[in-house]
Structure formats: C-alpha cells, structure tokens
Amino acid sequence: MLEKALVGSNKYWAWIFFLLGVITIGGLFYLYQFNYGLGATGMSRDVSWGIYIAQFTFMVGVAAGGVMLVLPYYIHDFKAFGKITILGEFMAIAAVAMCIMFITADLGQPMRIMNVLLHPTPHSMLFWDMIVLNGYLFLNAICGWVILNSHNKGVHYPHWVKPFIYLSIPWAFSIHTVTAFLYCGLPGRHFWLTAILAPRFLASAFAAGPSLLVLIAMVLKRVANFDAGDKAFQKLGTIITYAALANFFFLGLEFFVAYYSRIPGHMHTLDYLFWGLDGHNNLVLPMRFSLTIGLIATTMLLFPQIKRNEGTFALSCAMLFLSLWIDKGVGMVLGGFVPNPFDRVTEYYPTVIEIGISLAVWAAGALILTILYKIAISVQAKEA
C-alpha cells in the first residue's frame, strides 16, 4: 500500500518537501547538539528536563487520545467512527514515534540507549515506559495496517487482529499512566507528588488528542476530499467536552488541596505558575492564558449551536488544544523543576537549538502522519 503515498498533487508534494526541509534544518541543529552536548539547550543543574521531556509527555497524551475512537468503534460498535478510527490509530503511531524522538534528543549519551534493554531494570519507571510505548506503537501499527490492508483488498479483516485491538484499549490508558508514574513517584517534588497526576494526564489527553484529530479531519475535508461525517464530528465534540470538564475539575482539586491546606511545598509551584514566586514570573502569562482559553473553549463546547457550526467548533478545539499544550507541554514539567526543592527559583529559557530540534520532531511526526493518512484516505476513496 506504500505506493499510494508516492502519488499526489503538487500541493501534497510541496507539503512533504516543506516538512523535509524543517526536518533537515532541525537535523543540523541536532548534529550540533550531538557534538557539543546538551549544554546547547537551556537546561541546567536545577532545571534538568526541559521542552524535550515536556513535549514527550504531551505527545504520549496525544497518542493515548487515539483510544477515544478505537473504544467506541470496536467495543460499542459506534459505526459513525468507521471512517476515522484508522486516523486515530495512525495519529497514535505518529505521536509515539515523536515520543521516541524527543526522548532520544534528550539523552546525554544517545548511543547507549540500548543499555535500557541490556540491563533491564524493573524498579525504574523509565524501563516500563519504554515497554508500554513500544508496545503501543506495535499494537497500533498491527491493527491499523492489517485492517487497512484488508479494506484495500476488499475483505473483512482477519480475526486474529481482534485480540490486538482489544489489548490496545487498556494499553492506551497504560502509556499515560506509566508516564505519570515517571513524575508522581519522586519523593522530593511536591507538585508532581499527587495521586491524581495519572487521571489528570488521561483527562487532558482525551481532550487534546481528539481535538487535534478534529482539526486534522477538517483540514482533510478541504484538501483531501475526505469527509469523516457530521455524526463522527459531533460525537468527538461530546468526548472532548467531557474530557475537558474532567481535566479542569482535576486542576481545581489541585488548587483546593494546595491553598486550603496551606502547605508551602504544595503551593510553591502553583504560586510560581499562576502568580509568580520571589519575583520570578516567566510562566504566569502563558499559564493564565492557557487556563482562560481552556475554560472559554470548554464552555463554548457545551453549546450545541457552537459545536454544530464548523467554524466555531474548530475554533473551540484549537483553543482547547493550545490550552492543554501550554499546561502540559510547558507548565507541567517546568513547574516541577523551576522552583526547586530548596525554595530557590532557577528560570529556564529554551535555546534556538532546542526549539529547532523540537520543531523538527513535530515536522517528522507530521510527515509520518501525512504519509499514513495519504495511504488510508486513498484506500477509503477507492472503496467508496
């Protein structure tokens, strides 16, 4: 089926070469970082993880978000998701690939990455994260590819795929739970040391992932003549709304625990993120912006008229996605480091190198997504 990605309009090829261009520039930046060391980034002794790990965490969520299509379609037989479930599975593949790239970009000694397999360490959450992420990549690749291949041949998919489909559902929850465990099991950092971190991660993932999918599906409607169907869009809108409500409810709980208990360690990071701490307030504006547009978008989604109008629906999804990206792709990781456990604040500024490499990973994810979607849409177009 790969050959279907090799035929396309001029616009398709322009987009592909644009992405390749971004990847090449980012690749050169990575070469520089590889030779100089991670000192090429803005990270420091206090802020020892930066936007690479923050983006990684966010993308795990986007990957897990794919399950919000797989679950209704395969468990509840929700037929309206028939056309776009494959898009959810392929989005998960691209997102997990991005996760692996972000992790690799963040390693001080990337050539030694296989040490994780050579010296398996079950008491390290990173070991389990490797297992669940690679497992999820494998499951989605199997399910997506085999089902699409059957479509292409005009036959029903083989029965042996079913167990893999069912397994991929709890597995989606596991990837984001284990990713939360990376943070919430560390004794010195109060901001992350919360049992609600995994549920928060899942709620934001189930809002952000489907939001991104809605936006992509709307683009595909215009550029690829692919219509997911109004019923599918409306159902996704409902899923996004509930997940967003859960997300902001959980965030409210964090605020209550911190500010009602008045335990300094619990308040420090929230102080830093939303009000500024000891004169340091780099993230105050982005975090307040994130919270504001997130709440507005969630409120908008509660109105059926807004959800039914394509323009306003797209706007609310875009606002929500941006809100959750700032919250998790920036604030969550930096918040745990910038006010350090010793009541000191060390600000972090990502460098051009770091941003360039991150953009290249996003471009690489977009390239994988484009190729997979091109194949999927070509197959479905042939079928119709």
Binding another protein by CB under 8 A: which of 4, 234, 340, 345?
340
Query: Structure tokens of 77?
Result: 């037989």
- For the bound state, the minimum distance from the C-beta of residue 75 to another protein, rounded and expressed in Å, comes to 8
221 binds another protein (CB under 8 A): no
Q: Which of residues 63-102 bind another protein (CB under 8 A)?
A: 75
Output 26 or 339, the one with its CB closest to another protein.
339
Q: Which of residues 168-187 bind another protein (CB under 8 A)?
A: 170, 182-183, 186-187
- Give the binding range for another protein (CB under 8 A) out of 57-65, 254-262, 343-351, 354-362: 343-351
Query: In the 8-state DSSP scheme, what is residue 357?
Result: H
Query: Dihedral sign, CA of 244, 246, 247, 253?
Result: positive
Q: Is 196 helix (H, G, I), strand (E, B) or coil?
A: coil
In the chain, the amino acid numbered 136 is: Y
Write the CA distances from 291 to 307, 321, 331, integer angstroms: 20, 12, 11
Q: How many CB atoms lie within 10 A of CB 2?
A: 8
Tokens 């037929």, located at residue: 79
CA angle 71, 332, 201 (to 5 degrees): 15
- Give the binding range for another protein (CB under 8 A) out of 2-10, 78-86, 124-132, 281-289: 124-132
- For the bound state, the minimum distance from the C-beta of residue 346 to another protein, rounded and expressed in Å, comes to 8
59 binds another protein (CB under 8 A): no
The pairs formed by 143-146 with CB atoms below 8 angstroms and a separation of 24 or more are 143/70, 143/89, 143/168, 144/86, 144/89, 144/90, 144/93, 144/372, 144/376
- For the bound state, the minimum distance from the C-beta of residue 318 to another protein, rounded and expressed in Å, comes to 32
Write the CA distances from 195 to 181, 248, 332, integer angstroms: 9, 16, 15
Q: CA-CA distance, 373 to 278, in Å (whole number)? A: 48
Q: CA-CA distance, 52 to 33, in Å (whole number)? A: 13
Binding another protein by CB under 8 A: which of 82, 265, 276, 286?
265
158 binds another protein (CB under 8 A): no
- Give the binding range for another protein (CB under 8 A) out of 43-51, 238-246, 269-277, 361-369: 43-51
Q: What mask of x and - would describe binding to another protein in positions 281 to 300, judged by CB under 8 A?
A: --------------------
Output 109 or 225, the one with its CB closest to another protein.
109
Q: Is 132 helix (H, G, I), strand (E, B) or coil?
A: helix
CB 50 within 8 A of CB 39: no
Q: Which of residues 100-119 bind another protein (CB under 8 A)?
A: 103, 106-110, 112-113, 115-116, 118-119
The binding site for another protein (CB under 8 A) comprises 36-39, 42-46, 48-49, 75, 103, 106-110, 112-113, 115-116, 118-119, 121-128, 130, 162-163, 166-167, 170, 182-183, 186-189, 265, 336-337, 340-344, 346
